[in-house]
Amino acid sequence: MTHSGLIRRLEEIASQPSGGAAAADTLRAWLGASQPFVRAGELTRFAELAPVGLIVDSFRIDIPFGTGGRRGRVGIGPNRINPRTLALTVAGHCEFLRKTADRDDLLVVVANDTRVFTDINRLHSFMGPDWSLLGTSSRSLARLACQIYAVYGVETLMTAPGDDDGYMPTPELSFAIRDLGAAGGLNVSASHNHPDDNGLKVYTPTGGQYCPPDDANLSATVEQVVLDPQIETLVAGHAGAAAPISPAVHRRYISMYTSRADALCSASATVAPQVPIVYTPLCGTGLANVGETLTGAGFQLHVPPDQYPDGSFAPIPLRSPNPEIPGVTDPAIDFAATVGAELVLSTDPDADRLGVEVRLSSGEWRHLTGNQIGAILGYFLAADPDGPGLSGSMITTVATSRVLRAVAALGSGIDLTDDLMIGFKFIGQLLDNAESEGALPDLVLASEESHGYLTTTDLRDKDGASGAYLIAHLHVLMRGSGRTLWDYLMNVFEATGVHIEYGRSLVLLGAEGADTIKAVMRSLRDVPMERVGSEPVVSRRDFLVDGTTGPLSGGERASRDVLEFASEHYRVVVRPSGTEAKLKYYFDYAEPPGPRGLAASRFAELEPLVRADCSAVYADLARRAGYELSAAALDLPDVLPMQEKAARDQVGRGRAGHDEAGQT
């Protein structure tokens, strides 16, 4: 591109709304001086050939350091995950540890999931097949991170450093940090996101994620980093920097659960080997925690042959390996028929979320929501007359179903905390604070609506293994008596009253999407919801104001940007995601216990009504975001961006109009 052509290109970028001017300034600076870990020829090709919208989104900001780290698309630019972004994050982490650690010999545990960037959506096809970022994997980024830590004098450990296909589940990272007495950890994973995304999450010395105000201090340190111009040369001198984690750490992690299974699940132990169960790691890391825990506890496990670790997530519908989403386990359910299994368990690629699908007596398969799984676990552990009857702490967040409040009331000696901000890191923080005060509780269950559970204080993050062996145990017991886990859930509702929950989100990509999310939250504050379904709103809470005692830090404002609207039976909680381009909302219905024996029929009666009211809230939020969608578009999977839903809706309406004209 000629000099005049480049000037016109930059002017075109600068003219774009929502970040165009900032993007043009940053791109101009990058083109004018070499950037560590950025190839000049590729940067020029990107500047010349990329769509303007992609350039703006890639260069408008530094990728935010959100919920303990960064997550987003892989690509060129400061608002993308790439080796440069990784280097800045790691360097900032090192500087932060130097300021906060109580010792000089620093050790960091580094983990990664299985994902590989291949530009599946062809957003960068103009870069050609020789583009250096193609094939970037979580493993390759994790190895590079270890080299960068070494440049800063920090030792690292990772699983089998010489294995190109090695990985570690997120929960085991949390355990290993604590077990090894490390100064912290780094996880290279984008959790349940599309394989062309990736992320970098920093962990505390206690195995949790940084919370306010520490997260703001960490973020500020990262943002102030200036990389040494020779960083790439220095990194090259530290090839193979990571040392291997002793296999004994993994054995201790697995035995932590298998010993609990021996104690809590003895009633099913003799039958368990005879009952087939399907488990899919959704092509991620879960065989190393959930898989080994289940087989170690004696359950008969079957894994779909095409869903072993695979960084492309190719066998997973929509390549969205998220146990929250109904349908992602459809191939595993098909496989279950071949082995006679009536239970399918799943985990996301970093194996901290647990999904459950159960075959009903009718032959239909039922997807359990995260709240329903939490209700089953909590009731079994604390309130089931035939369960272990544990006492201690039950912990959850403001967005999680109110059913755990009812379950806690049924138990004996249950101390309930259900007002934490959204995100499992706040559960970890509560445990950390209790431990520092010498009052670490006996944990019965920590649960969040997004399929996250913890039943041990030996780690500080949610763990798919924490609930998997308990669900498997209950499934075996129910099957032995001719019942199902769904029947067990209905029995829970007999005791607690019927609870129905839905979690939905509006995916709003790019600079425009980020502005839209802020606009919707402003709209909800300026013109609040007045009704939920047929019921008037009777209470509202704005967590930016309610419950605060003084000025909030940036991190506190981000975590408390939450609104709650409640009617007689309904509750709606709305917030921007801290890690993804989403506006999320949590919708739940609760009623007190009714006459015995009617919970199942009452649930069946209410479910379609509650679903319709939930869709009405979605339509309201979509309108506030500028999208007037048809009923069919409202029901499209929430993994689709709103822009795509609107485009499909327009095509669908056009076809309907054409058909109507043809009939006329």
pLDDT of residue 660: 52
- The span from the CA of 575 to the CA of 578, in Å, is 9
Q: At 91, list the tokens.
A: 């360097």
pLDDT of residue 338: 98
Q: Is pLDDT above 80 for 653? A: no
- The span from the CA of 103 to the CA of 108, in Å, is 13
Question: Where residue 272 falls among pLDDT bands split at 50, 70, 90?
Answer: very high
Domains and CATH numbers, the chain: 1-54 (no CATH), 61-126+133-245 (3.40.120.10), 250-495 (3.40.120.10), 499-652 (3.30.310.50)
The structure tokens 């005049």 sit at: 4
pLDDT of residue 220: 87
Mean pLDDT of 31-49: 94
pLDDT of residue 510: 80
CA distances from 458 to 45, 178, 260, 472, 534 (A): 49, 8, 12, 22, 45
- The span from the CA of 349 to the CA of 193, in Å, is 9
pLDDT of residue 659: 55
3-state SS class at 28: helix
Mean pLDDT of 556-573: 94
Find the DSSP H helices in 340-463. Answer: 370-382, 403-410, 424-436
Mean of the per-residue pLDDT values of the chain: 93
Write out pLDDT tens, residues 425-476. Answer: 999 999 999 999 999 999 999 999 999 999 999 999 999 999 999 999 999 9
- Dihedral class, residue 345 (left if φ above 0, else alpha if ψ from -120 to 50, else beta): beta
- The span from the CA of 75 to the CA of 123, in Å, is 10
pLDDT of residue 559: 87
Question: Where residue 397 falls among pLDDT bands split at 50, 70, 90?
Answer: very high
Please calculate the CA angle 430-291-193 and round it to the nearest 5 degrees. 65
Contact 524, 574 (CB under 8 A): yes
Q: Is pLDDT above 80 for 152? A: yes
Mean pLDDT of 284-302: 97
Q: Is pLDDT above 90 for 657? A: no
Write out pLDDT tens, residues 541-564. Answer: 999 999 888 888 777 888 899 999
The pTM of the full predicted model, rounded to 2 decimals, is 0.93
The structure tokens 């194996």 sit at: 351
Identity at 624, one-letter amino acid code: R
DSSP string of 70-107, one letter each residue: EEEEBSSSTTSBSHHHHHHHHHHHHHHHHHH-S-SS-E
Identity at 287, one-letter amino acid code: L
Question: Where residue 205 falls among pLDDT bands split at 50, 70, 90?
Answer: very high
Write out pLDDT tens, residues 113-131. Answer: 999 999 998 999 999 999 9
Mean pLDDT of 375-385: 97
DSSP string of 482-508, one letter each residue: T--HHHHHHHHHHHH--EEEEEEEEE-
- Beta partners for residue 356, in sequence order: 345, 368
CA distances from 482 to 342, 356, 387 (A): 12, 19, 18
pLDDT of residue 664: 47
Question: Where residue 52 falls among pLDDT bands split at 50, 70, 90?
Answer: very high
Contact 287, 308 (CB under 8 A): yes
Please calculate the CA angle 414-467-301 and round it to the nearest 5 degrees. 155
- The span from the CA of 406 to the CA of 418, in Å, is 11
Mean pLDDT of 647-659: 71
pLDDT of residue 533: 87
pLDDT of residue 112: 98
| Phi (first) and psi of residue 61, to 5 degrees | -150, 165
Contact 448, 418 (CB under 8 A): no
Query: Other CB atoms closer than 10 Å to residue 9's CB: what's the count?
Result: 18
Mean pLDDT of 188-211: 94
Range name among 316-325, 617-626, 647-656 with the lowest pLDDT average: 647-656
